[in-house]
Structure 1
Amino acid sequence: MKKFATCNAQAVLKAGLTGLLLSTLATSALAQRGAVQPEAHAGQQPINNLPNPYETQRSFGSLPDGRSWGSVSAVDIDPDGIHVWAGDRCGSNSCANSDVDPIVKLDPNGRVVESFGANQIIWPHGMDVDADGNVWVADARLANARELEANPDAANRGNVVLKFSPTGELLMTLGTPGEMGDPPTHFTEPNDVLVAPNGRIFVVETHSAQFQDEPGPNAKSRLTIWEADGTFVKSVGEWGFEDGQFRSPHSLGMDSQGRLFIADRGNNRIQIFTQDGEHLDTWYQ
């Protein structure tokens, strides 16, 4: 799914009677949120029983040397609109003890035409391919104790956002490999990355926050903004249930109006922001 999508303009309703308009808007807002508090929404299981217009092709894509696919959550479309990029977790659910290339580019027939990233990534979770074809990867965790016992060198990887050229040259690293912390020098489990048309970079953290019951070191839950050259702008958001708060902001998208859509996984909702980090709206299913 491409991260930039076209949205229809919202309809604007005009009413002659102010009282009637305010009443209608209040009723609509309550209906959208289900007339319950955000904490209650977080515990509800979303229901989507609409027809699926897409057909799943489960056999698409063959990896080199007969490799089997591992877990894959990082996928994006190349600017040419034809090729597909994916971040494979090296045939399992981690690349900590593997020396294969986790980042692959596939042609329309599912053949790998480019690959890179060996011994540079632990857990590819989110991906964005910018307008110049550069591949951005959110490496969302550190090597665990078992993985470090098998491969001590894995201690120097993970918990960063990496920018690669289309041929695999490492161009930029945001965060400090192998360490956790706060921007601008560190991340805490970066889930996804998105590069806007103007080059501004957006990163969301923290993967473990969806499992936390209260704020803490593993519940940062924030959006961080960077300029195109990697200059830190600011971080916004924190763990919580209210508008502008998150419980594991998990994925990013941007519409044709330049609005930033954030999948707030632990709260079962989508939040919408400006590119300066101002909260605009919250959507519930």
Structure 2
Amino acid sequence: MKSSSVFVQIIKLLVVSWSSIEYTCARRVQYPEDGYYGNNFFDAQSLDSKVNAALQRLEHTPKWVKDWPDPSVQMGQVSGLALDTDGHLLVFHRDNNVWDERTFTPRNVYQGIGEPPISRPTILKFNDTGELIDSWGENLFYIPHGITVDREGNVWLTDVAMHQVFKFTPDQRQKPALVLGEKFIPGNDDQHFCKPTSVAVMSNGDFFVADGYCNHRILKYSPKGEIILQWGKAHGRDNFVFNVPHALTLAEDRGLLCAADRERGRVACFRSDNGTFAHNFASWLIGSRLFSVAYSPAQGGRLYVVNGPYGTSPVPVRGYVIDFTSGALSGTFAPDGGLHNPHDVVATPDGGAVYVAEINPYRVHKFVDDTIQKAADVTHAKVAVKPTATVEVSSRSALSAAEADAWAWRWGAGGAAAAAAAALLALAALALLRARNRVRISAAAALLALAALALLRARNRAIYISPSSSSTSPSSALIAIISAWARAAAALLALAALALLRARNRVRISAWAWRWGAGGAAAAAAAALLALAALALLRARNRGKGPRSDKQALLESYINVHVLLNRDHRAALLALAALALLRARNRVRISAWAWRWGAGGAAAAAAAALLALAALALLRARNRGKGPRRDKQALLES
């Protein structure tokens, strides 16, 4: 029995060991770099030789600029860097304050509470030549950390001692326009941070905060500072586990937010709209600590990262350039004598200049990539118009959110969204009939609003099916048309619902006026429009296998005989039109290509527009008179 128990324990130990090895390899080797490791190539060489061989394979760009900035400018620990809208460098430093093992209690409370804030400017602005041209930020901060400048020129800052995030506008530097978190109070709820590290701001004003040292999470906010979503955790083995998310950068052309996960030695990228994990970037040459990351869309997309020292590890402390498409290291950079404790990195949008901050020694480095400038000069010499950047699609890299969005609508989600839209249009038509008979149309307004909402949700929640790297994408014009008709249909439905509700609230007239007055003519016209829209959809849907003449003839006969001449059958015709729309969608089998690229898209857009016009005609004829019911209108508008 004892030997059996020992055997079982040995098996368990082997399983655990194998799982640990498998996890480590899977995490570290995200994108293989040929020749850098494996295949027993370096078995006979020392680790130092491996590192040297790996560095020799990389381009040593960008190049270090000596004596930059002005050496007479005194700085403390440099924690953050940012570029303003004019291309000037902002340096966020701690002056005489130092973060060491005595700065915080074990519960992350700042030990200097009661002392005055830093009395000298903590934000220094340098021009391209390294000359100090401005400074501010005195008597505001205790332990500065992250700095970001958005497109409006607002400066966003984090202070780990105060556990707060600040926003300063260009015309107000003494008082922040927005403050998040409670001063000196650490926490992990929606109102508190614990040593927040970084901020990234989107072009629409939404922004992200890395609540890094204690809470290991990323939060997304609206421009007003309201939480939209958050993700991240401290324990586990999946891609949402952070160990100090230390810096953030946005790749808006790819719809991604990337975080420097410091103690896991990786750059983790997520979709900026919903926080879905996209992919990791990591390398054995970078090591197990990665302090900061910056993104540039230049040359198809680049990440600039800086690592940090770790014990006696022989991995050099340097800056590295990662090709976003392939995930491979393409370049490395460092000043003469190397980096010691880099803390932040920032790059210009064209990748022509890169800046690195160090907290020990207290200094800032500038690097310039002449190859990018030369390539830009050649491009401008050959092309008369301003060139636009292109992004290559690789099977080893995730698509941007915009690319995935378009592919999903064309190759997968379009069918589901069209089916949902057809069903909801039928329900809307039925609701209009019931509302017409009961002299109430509030239900119709609600269903039209639901139809618009369902169409948008079906459009946005589709399963994204990535094409292979060798597939050829359709023309951008067709992509724009197909994407536009869905949004136009949803917008028209929502406007129709709003118009219905407004008209519904303005008037109460007798049933007699509805049946024998102008309402009768409007109802007949609306029924004809809806039936014609259904017929157009049916004809466009049937072009892939030839017309279904039996159903079309039946529908045409009802339109000619009953809709235009006999009002008593209006209700039946509306129901028949909706039914034909559903049957045409579900029973007619043609190729997906004909539905997507033929007349189907145009017919569907026309049907949505005609339905909105029909609903508007109905409500105008139905209603004349009383003041608006503001409560329900406000609810629908919101």
Aligned residues of 2:118 and 2:142 also touching (Cα < 8 A): no
- 1:184 is matched with which residue? 190
Following the alignment from structure 1 to structure 2, what is the Cα–Cα distance between the partners of residues 199 and 172? 13
- Taking structure 1 as reference, are residues 59 and 176 closer, same or farther at Cα in structure 2, changes over 3 Å only? farther
CA offset at residue 166 of structure 1?
A: 2.5
AA in 2 matched with 1:261? C
Aligned mates of 2:95, 2:66 — CA distance in 1 = 18
- String of CA shifts for 1:213-233, please: whole Å, max 9, x gaps: xxxxx3x20001110111122
User: Could you tell me which residue of structure 2 aligns to residue 61 of structure 1?
Assistant: 69
Instruction: State yes or no: 1:229 paired with 2:218.
Output: no
Would the alpha carbon gap of residues 188 and 229 (structure 1) be closer, same or farther in structure 2, given more than 3 Å must change? same
Give the aligned residue type for 2:62.
Y
Contact 1:194 1:203 (C-alpha < 8 Å) held by counterparts? yes
Task: Give the secondary structure class of the aligned counterpart of 1:36.
Answer: helix
Aligned to 1:267: 264
**Pairing 1:284–2:282 present:** yes
Cα drift, residue 97 of structure 1: 5.6
CA contact (8 A) 1:127 1:194 kept: no
**2:124 alignment partner AA:** V
The 2-side partners of 1:124 and 1:39 are apart by 36
* Superimposed CA distance per residue, residues 137-162 of structure 1 (whole angstroms, 9 cap, x where no aligned partner): 121x22xxxxxxxxxxxxxxx21111
Q: Say what the alpha-carbon RMSD is for the aligned residues.
A: 2.7
Give the structure 1 partner of residue 166 of structure 2.
162
Measure how far apart 1:260 and its partner are.
0.5
Distance 1:97 1:282 in 2: 38
Q: Is 2:203 aligned against 1:197? A: yes
Deviates more, 1:240-249 or 1:130-139: 240-249
Deviation track 1:50-92 (CA, whole Å, cap 9, x = no partner) reads: 23302233532348xx6521111310111122x1111011145
Amino acid paired to 2:204: N
Matched residues in 2 for 1:51 and 1:57: separation? 17
- Name 2:548's counterpart in structure 1: none
Partners of 2:66 and 2:195 in 1: CA distance = 29
- 2:552 maps to none
Matched residues in 2 for 1:58 and 1:70: separation? 20
Task: Compute the TM-score of the two structures, normalised by the length of structure 2.
Answer: 0.32
TM-score (norm 1): 0.69
Counterpart for residue 31 of structure 1:
none
Aligned position for 1:36 = 22
**Counterparts of 1:1-20 in structure 2 under 5 Å?**
none
Letter in 2 for 1:55: K
In structure 1, what is the Cα distance between the partners aligned to 2:60 and 2:66?
16
Ranges in structure 1 where 5+ consecutive residues have no aligned partner: 1-34, 143-157, 208-217
Q: Secondary structure at the match of 1:56?
A: strand
For 1:225, give the aligned amino acid: K
**For residue 244 of structure 1, what is the aligned residue in structure 2?**
240
Q: Aligned pair in 2 of structure 1 residues 124, 40: CA closer, same or farther (>3 Å)? A: farther
- Deviation, 1:174, is 1.2
Matched, 1:133 2:137: no
Q: Number of aligned pairs?
A: 219
For 1:277, the aligned partner's letter is: G
Greater Cα radius of gyration, structure 1 or 2 = 2
In 2: Cα distance, 1:97 partner to 1:176 partner? 16
**Separation in 2 of the partners of 1:243 and 1:41?**
9
Identity of aligned residues (%): 26
Q: Which amino acid aligns with 1:254?
A: L
Structure 2 residues without counterparts, runs of 5 or longer? 1-20, 29-46, 100-111, 284-638
Q: Select the structure that is richer in strand.
A: 1
Q: Measure the CA separation in 2 of the matches of 1:124 and 1:264.
A: 19
Secondary structure at the aligned position of 1:108 is classed as coil
Q: Which residue of 2 aligns with 1:172?
A: 178
1:38/1:242 contact within 8 Å kept? no
**CA, structure 1 residues 58+92, in 2 after alignment: closer, same or farther (shift >3 Å)?**
farther
Alpha-carbon distance in 1 for matches of 2:279, 2:128: 37
